[in-house]
Amino acid sequence: MKKQILYILLFISTIGFAQNPMVKAEIDTTNIRIGEQFQLKITVDETQNVIVPKLHLKGLEVIDSTQVDTIKNSLIRKYILTGFDSGAFYIPQQQIFVKNQAFLTDSLLVNVATIAIDTTKVKKFPIKSIKSEPYTFDDFKIYVYILLAALAIIGFWIYWFVIRKRKEEEEEPTYRALPPYEEAIYRLNELDEKLLWQNNKVKEYYSELTEIVRGYIERELKVPALEKTTDEVLDMLKDFKDAETIQTSEDTIKKLKALLQEADLVKFAKSKPLAIEIEEDRKDAQDIVSNLKPKPIIEENDELE
């Protein structure tokens, strides 16, 4: 009797799941080498009122993605992924919305391996001969001192008789520089009016967008953010936050990391984000500018009061 009831329940549950739209995620390989690309395909057995959110990954990178295709009453979207660190990484369950109901795909495991080096094929070089002793600073210091003295005299002459005289003749500037926040907002609005990404100039759009954000950080925090890499900027901000010299949140730093990494993928990996993702990055850029500030300096007199 118990077995019969169990079979009936299993039969009913099977019917119930068969009536629901199915979502499925699959990859064309589970083993790659560092930098090698593979394909992730998400299939939804429904074409009406389907929402496929932005892909969330850990340890893997999205190189490219296709538009949603409709094939035989199913929606299919493909992604080109890769990994730059060795190890085993999961593609976590992705949440798909079908007619306002959430469904989860299966999680998938991908192994990223390093490239083995065949030492038997490594080219060997002969032993180098003994080199002669290199020159030192002492061999040329007298000439360096003479050159520096001559340059100092020429520089003083140019300053005294040219630059100084020109400065005296110039009028006071009639303009004033905008504060960092106002300048960043002004440039973001100018960028919107250019309609770059709408005209398939996505790379130029992300270059200017990140330049505005980096320029704001450089002026507001007085650090060379325009000259640093993405990782260097993020490490610097984390150090500032740990030292409590800036006012911001972990969410703001996460948005900055996602924006700079997305821009790097667009500029160097030819990634093509969707319109909704570009609009979200534009919104994040303004949030970063609005929520990343140096901590006010409290004077000793204020603390006594």
What b-and-e string marks burial along 11-42, b requiring 16 or more CB atoms within 10 Å of the CB? Answer: eeeeeeeeeebebebebeeeebeeeeebebeb
SS3 letters across 141-165: HHHHHHHHHHHHHHHHHHHHHHHHH
The CA dihedral of 262, 92, 66, 28, to the nearest 10 degrees, is: 120
For domain 17-113, which architecture applies? Sandwich (2.60)
Q: Which of 179, 197, 196 is CA-nearest to residue 289?
A: 179
In order of 46, 72, 144, the CA distances from 69 in angstroms are: 12, 10, 69
pLDDT for residue 48: 82
In order of 136, 141, 241, the CA distances from 144 in angstroms are: 12, 5, 45
Burial of 272 (0-12, 13-18, 19+ CB in 10 A): middle
Give me the tens of pLDDT residue by residue for the chain, a chain 305 residues long: 544 544 444 444 333 333 445 798 889 988 988 888 899 888 888 878 888 878 878 888 888 887 777 777 888 888 898 988 888 988 898 888 888 888 888 888 999 887 765 556 656 666 666 666 777 777 778 888 899 999 999 988 888 877 877 776 665 555 567 899 999 899 999 999 999 999 999 999 999 999 999 999 988 888 888 888 988 888 888 888 888 888 888 898 899 999 999 989 998 888 889 999 999 999 999 999 999 888 876 655 554 45
CA atoms within 13 A on the CB side of 280: 11
Question: Which DSSP state fits 272?
Answer: -
pLDDT for residue 276: 93
In order of 12, 20, 34, the CA distances from 9 in angstroms are: 5, 17, 47
pLDDT for residue 170: 60
- Residue 62, amino acid: V
pLDDT for residue 9: 43
pLDDT for residue 72: 76
CA distance 295 to 237: 13
Question: Residues 42, 105: contact at Cβ < 8 Å?
Answer: yes
Question: Residues 80, 64: contact at Cβ < 8 Å?
Answer: yes
